[in-house]
Every structure is written in structure tokens, then in C-alpha cells.
Structure 1
Amino acid sequence: MKSFIAAFLMLLATTACAEPQPGIDFMQTQQAIPTDNPAKIEIVELFWYGCPHCYQLEPTLAVWVKKLPKDVEFKRVPGIARPDWAPMAKAYYAMEMLGVAEKLHVALFDAVHKQRALRPDNDAAIIDWITKQGGLDRKKVEETYNSFSVNTKVMRAAQMFRASGATGVPSLIVEGRYLTSSTLAGGNEEALKVVEYLIDRVRQEKTQKR
């Protein structure tokens, strides 16, 4: 009987550990962050092109995003923990405005980490790289990179990073209310499993409010 009770308690402990725990695997964001589409569950990846962990996560994340349910929307937002992270945030938004973000996103990661051909804090080199890789006019790239629109997006990205309470990248925000990361969850795949748990949690919360 004692062995049965011990086994039962062990099973309960294992089950409890299997479910992501608040304050351990994820936490609430420091501030509530407005989402773009109330009809969707929003997932935001905070990333930086200079981060090796973001680079390692990217292939897994790309496959995972393709399998997301229709009621889930994913977007990337450059993380800006320090002023020297801003140039790569400008690079992302400039590429987005120029229509080459999807084409050059992984290539920019490769240029920084695999080829080691680009410093993530060198504005002129970044502009040259986008121009060459995107087959674009340099003057147009430079104007876009330094534009008011791009700088506004960078400022908002920095505000989101602070509001989330993130301390590094990659971090994942769910519905503007929950935050997890590879560090909190214990690995890249574990972080994505936590996000899946939070998606279900948010979906249930939305159903209960109807």
C-alpha cells in the first residue's frame, strides 16, 4: 500500500512538473502590451541579429510558425536592450519597408554569425549590405534606414522591450501579457512548448469572456 501511495504521489509530482509553471517557465509582462488584432492571439518574438541564441532558434522557430493555428498571429520585433542594438533594429525595419525582409532575414543572421562579414553596430556597413543583397539603390536604402518611420518603429520596439520586462533575447510575448524565453523554459524547444501552453490558456480565457 505504501509503495502504491508513493508511486501515486510521484505521478502527481511528474504531472505537475509537466505543466509550465508561472514564475518559473513564464511570467506576466511588466506592463500590458496592446496587440494589433483582437481577433487573433498574438505571439511576438523579441530578437537581435547579433544574438547567437536568436540565430540558433531561427530554424526551429521558422518551422514552428508555419504550423500555428489560424487564430494565432506571429510577428517579430527587434529587441533593444542597449543603444548599440538599435542599428540592427533599423536594419530589420528598413528591410521591411523596402519589401526585402522575408528574403534577407536569415541571410542577415548568416552574415553576422556564419560568415562573420558584418558587425551588428556598423550603420554604413549595414546599409551597404542591404543594398548589395537586396539589389537596391543605395541612396534609397540609406534614406529608408534613417527615415522618421524607421526611427519611430525602433522607438516603439524599445518601449515594448521595456514593457515586457525581458532581460534578454530571444524572448517570446504571448497576447501582450505573458513572457517566456529559452532561459526561463530551459531551452528553445521548451520555450515554444510553453508558448503553445499559453496560447491554449489565452484561448480559454477569451472563450470564458464571451
Structure 2
Amino acid sequence: MMKQVWKAAACLLAVMAFGVQAQETDWQEGRHYEELATPVTTSTGDKVEVAEVFWYGCPHCYAFKPLIEEWKKDLPEDVEYVGIPAALGRTWEPHARAYYTLQALGKLDQTHDAMFEALARDRRQLDTAEALADYLSDYGVDEEAFIKTFSSFGVNAKMQQAQAKIRGARITGTPSLLIDGKYVVTGSMAGSHENMLKVADYLISKERAE
């Protein structure tokens, strides 16, 4: 009798495990991700673009950061990651400008972590070009060059392109993933940060198949 009980329990656990697995891989449009009625332009040519929309001051983006950085390491050659700093509010704009300024100065890789730590972790008030330049000078950024580039034509153009893309995709929160300009994935849709990346993998495969 006891052996039959154990067998029944084992079968029940197997069914439950299969149900969880099926649920995790059965990603549905309108529930786990959104398909845009009008796709937005991508910048990666023939490659599938995975754009992460983030804000340096967002604690959820800070928590998501190590997950997506690990995930990016295994991206195939026909998939390209793109970072898009959001300016969804006036207080976010200086930080988005800082991203493109650092990119223009060739200092983004050296300062990306520090920007997250200052704004999302430590909640520092770095809301002007001068305050940001002063903070970033400890990381090898020339203050004068930073302030000059902060409001340059090149940075203005990058800002306009990025925010137009965010508006076109109807993204209203961070972190969000925009897959090949067609699909939007958020934590609330997918259920977790980990699931965001699983849904992204599914949508990348979907794009390849098409």
C-alpha cells in the first residue's frame, strides 16, 4: 500500500514539474509580451536587435543588470544587444545624456557600473552636467570635455532618436526589452526579470524562423 502511495506521489510531482515547464515555455502574445502594431526602426542591420531600455536611477534596472550582462555573453553572432537610456521624466534626461556623452568620449565601459551605483544604489543627486562631470572625473573622465559634449549636436541627435524609438514602442517603464523593434517585454508581463530573458530568447527564435 505504501509503495502505491509513493508511486502516486511521484507521478503527481512529475505532472506538476511538466506543467511548470510547459507554462514557462508557452509564452503568449498579449500576456507575456506585446507585439507592436507598428514596428520601430532598428539599428543593427540584418541582425536581430535586443534593445534594453533602462534608467541609471532605476533600482529594478540595477537588479536586472547582472542578469542581462551574463545573458549577453552567450548571444549568437546574428543577435546584437543595444542599450537605450530612457528619459521618461525630466529628472531622467541628464542621465540619458550622460550615457551618450560617455559613449562619445569612449568612456562608457569604464563608467557604466559607476553610474548605476551612484544613482540606483546610492541615490546621489547628480542632475546637472557639472555634477556628473565632477563625479565621473574619479573614473578618468575629463570634466571640461564631458560638459562640452553633454549638449553637443551629436548627443542631441542620439537623444532624439532614442526617445522617438521609446515613444514609438509605447514603453512607459524600465527595464524593458524591445526585440527587433517588434516586441516589448517587461518584468510585469513576463513575471520576473529572469523570465524577461526567457521570453527574449523565445522571440529571438521567432524572428529567426520568420
Moved over 4 A (4+): 9-14
Displacement after TM superposition at 1:83 (Å): 2.4
Deviation of the 1:31 alpha carbon: 3.1
- Aligned AA (2:129): D
Equivalent position to 1:161, from 149, 160, 166: 166
The verdict on how the C-alpha distance between 1:74 and 1:59 changes in structure 2, with shifts beyond 3 A counting, is: same
Instruction: Give CA-to-partner distance per residue, 1:107-136, whole Å, 9 cap, x none.
Output: 1101123334x3253332112222x13323
Q: Which position in structure 1 is the counterpart of 2:130?
A: 124
TM-superposed CA distance for 1:28, in Å, is 1.4
| 3-state SS, counterpart of residue 43 of structure 1 | strand
- For 1:127-183, what per-residue CA distance to the aligned partner results, in whole angstroms no more than 9, with x for missing partners? 2222x1332332111001111111111111111111111120000011100110112
CA distance in 2, matches of 1:30, 1:166: 13
Whether 2:48 is the aligned partner of 1:48: answer: no
Q: Give the alignment of 1:34-73 within 5 angstroms.
A: 34-73=41-80
Q: CA deviation at 1:13?
A: 9.7
Counterpart mapping for 1:162-201 below 5 A: 162-201=167-206
Paired residue type of 1:128: D
Match of 1:113, SS state, is: helix
2:59·2:121 contact (CA, 8 Å) conserved in 1? no
Q: Which residue of 1 aligns with 2:83?
A: 76
Aligned-partner SS, 1:49 = coil
Structure 1, 12-21 or 55-64: larger mean CA deviation: 12-21
- Letter in structure 2 aligned against 1:113: A
Give the share of equivalent positions with the same residue, in percent: 35
> Once superposed, what is the RMSD of the aligned Cα atoms?
2.1
SS in 2 for 1:86: helix
Structure 1 residues 14 and 105 mapped into 2: Cα distance closer, same or farther (>3 Å)? closer
Computing the radius of gyration from Cα coordinates, the structure with the larger value is 2
Q: Determine the C-alpha separation between the residues in 2 that align with 1:138 and 1:17.
A: 48
State the 1:17 CA deviation.
6.2
Q: Which residue of 2 aligns with 1:29?
A: 36
Equivalent position of 1:112 in the other structure:
119
- Per the alignment, residue 109 of structure 2 pairs with 102
Shift of 1:68: 0.9
Which residue of the other structure, out of 202, 205, 209, is the alignment partner of 2:207? 202
CA contact (8 A) 1:30 1:163 kept: no
Q: Aligned residues, how many? A: 196
Measure the CA separation in 2 of the matches of 1:129 and 1:14.
46
**What is the CA–CA distance in structure 1 between the aligned matches of 2:128 and 2:37, rounded to whole Å?**
31
Question: Quick one: distance in 2 between partners of 1:13 and 1:88?
Answer: 40
TM-score when normalising by structure 2:
0.86
**Residue in 2 aligned with 1:147?**
152
Match for residue 4 of structure 1? none
Kept in 2: contact 1:45–1:172 (CA 8 A) = yes
* Cα distance change on mapping 1:136 and 1:167 into 2, 3 Å: closer
1:17–1:187 distance in 2 versus 1, CA, 3 Å: closer
- Give, in angstroms, the shift of residue 30 of structure 1: 5.3
What letter matches 1:23 in structure 2? G
- Mind listing any 5+ residue stretches in structure 2 that lack a counterpart? 1-11
TM-score (norm 1): 0.86
